[in-house]
Amino acid sequence: MATQLLGELSAPACTESRSSVEESATTEGKVVRIRGLSKQFGDRRVLDRIDFDIARGEFVALLGRSGTGKSTLLRVLAGLDDDHGGELTVSGSAAVAFQEPRLVPWKRVAGNVALGLRGKDARQRAAAALAEVGLAPRADAWPLTLSGGEAQRASLARALVRQPDLLLLDEPFSALDALTRITVHHLVLELWAKYRPGVLLVTHDVDEALLLADRALVLDHGRVVRQVRIDIPRPRRRDHPDFAALRATLLTELGVTA
């Protein structure tokens, strides 16, 4: 697995304590396969024998209260933490977008998007990615002059310019204002529909999961305690008859009562 991190040139691939990428018979059609994944910090077990898959082109949301292991799981999938037990296979490349855009302040926006790219066409690819997220006019701007929404769009461009097989999103919309968040939601769905990576979105926002994902996983005490299929047709609206029922189900699993 090759992993590109936003704000870092490269990251180590997930090492052994996972099944081999050569398991083509069992991973066909899947970008992620996890069986019995566990992770401990000292005596505290953060991830406890997790099992799930992500299909190619599937958008999965991971919900859970603070401290349940969501970001730890994402870091393991990204290859940032290989000290774990169980089996983990990621087929292909992965890219990560974090809550903070992590743009390098001494490079202009185009240079940030091209960061780590190889080949003579790196700048052209970066320019095309910026055009896709509506930032072509800001290619020569410095990161500190960008708005929050522009910085997050630049972060997404840097991830998607590599056309990853797996896109990992660690609460990338949480710092945005409500209107900007809606705009970036639409952008993410457009780019996902075009490139069809497998996506894992870590979020605290149940509505966000229902608006974006094909499936929602609820993580509690390091275990996946509920999986909910979201079959609401796209584009989705909160007034769809199934939205309120799914929202209530997820909130109940998260320990929130109306």
Alpha helices in the chain (DSSP H): 24-27, 70-78, 109-113, 122-132, 148-160, 178-195, 206-212, 241-253
- Specify if 38 maps to a domain: yes
- Specify if 141 maps to a domain: no
**Quick check: 201 pLDDT over 90?**
yes
Q: Where residue 137 falls among pLDDT bands split at 50, 70, 90?
A: very high
- Specify if 122 maps to a domain: no
Virtual torsion, Cα 105, 107, 113, 118, nearest 10 deg: -130
Q: Give the CATH number for residue 165.
A: 3.40.50.300
Asked whether the beta carbons of 218 and 246 are under 8 A apart, the reply is no
Residue 14 identity: C
- Specify if 179 maps to a domain: yes
The pLDDT tens digits of the residues spanning 152-179 come to: 899 989 988 888 999 999 988 888 888 8
**Quick check: 9 pLDDT over 70?**
no
Query: Under 8 Å CB-to-CB from 177, ≥6 apart: which residues?
Result: 148, 149
Number of separate domains in the chain: 1
Asked whether the beta carbons of 167 and 95 are under 8 A apart, the reply is yes
Task: Report how far residue 11's alpha carbon sits from residue 25's, in angstroms, rounded to the nearest whole number.
Answer: 27
- Specify if 118 maps to a domain: no
The pLDDT tens digits of the residues spanning 87-110 come to: 999 999 999 888 888 899 999 999
- Specify if 173 maps to a domain: yes
- Collapsing DSSP to helix, strand or coil, 246 comes out as helix
- Specify if 71 maps to a domain: yes
Structural domain that includes position 192? 3-107+148-253
- Specify if 181 maps to a domain: yes
Task: Report how far residue 197's alpha carbon sits from residue 130's, in angstroms, rounded to the nearest whole number.
Answer: 18
